Amino acid sequence: MLEKPGCSWCARFDAEIAPAWPKTPEGRRAPLRRVDITETWPADLTDVQKERFTPTFVLMNDGVEVGRLRGYVGDEFFWFAIGELLAKLP
């Protein structure tokens, strides 16, 4: 999850999804890692395109980006969209 301080949509995700995420099949399949885009970019993500829009959810598999979901507009859309994204995993 690419995020930044003061992101109201990140806060909404934190309230509506984040507490349950690790307890779900989706969360076990794709553990959430948070990357603050205002900080130094992590060395292991040099091949991942940076974003200005937060939150952005980047799905990785063996260090390769599988896809991304830009934005968070609510729990129903998120669960649908993240399911489609996870279906791309081998």
pLDDT tens digits for 3-29?
999 999 999 999 999 999 999 999 999
| Tokens linked to 70 | 């830009």
Number of domains in the chain: 1
Paired with 61 in beta bridges are: 64
| Tokens linked to 48 | 């991942």
- Between strands 56-61 and 64-70, the pairing is antiparallel
Residues 43-89 pLDDT 10s? 999 999 999 999 999 999 999 999 999 999 999 999 999 999 999 99
Least Cα distance to 73 among 87, 59, 53 occurs for: 53
Domain of residue 18, residue span: 2-86
Query: 22 CB contacts (<8 Å, ≥6 apart)?
Result: 28, 31, 32
Q: What phi, psi does 38 have (nearest 5°)?
A: -90, -5
pTM of the entire predicted model = 0.94
Paired with 69 in beta bridges are: 57
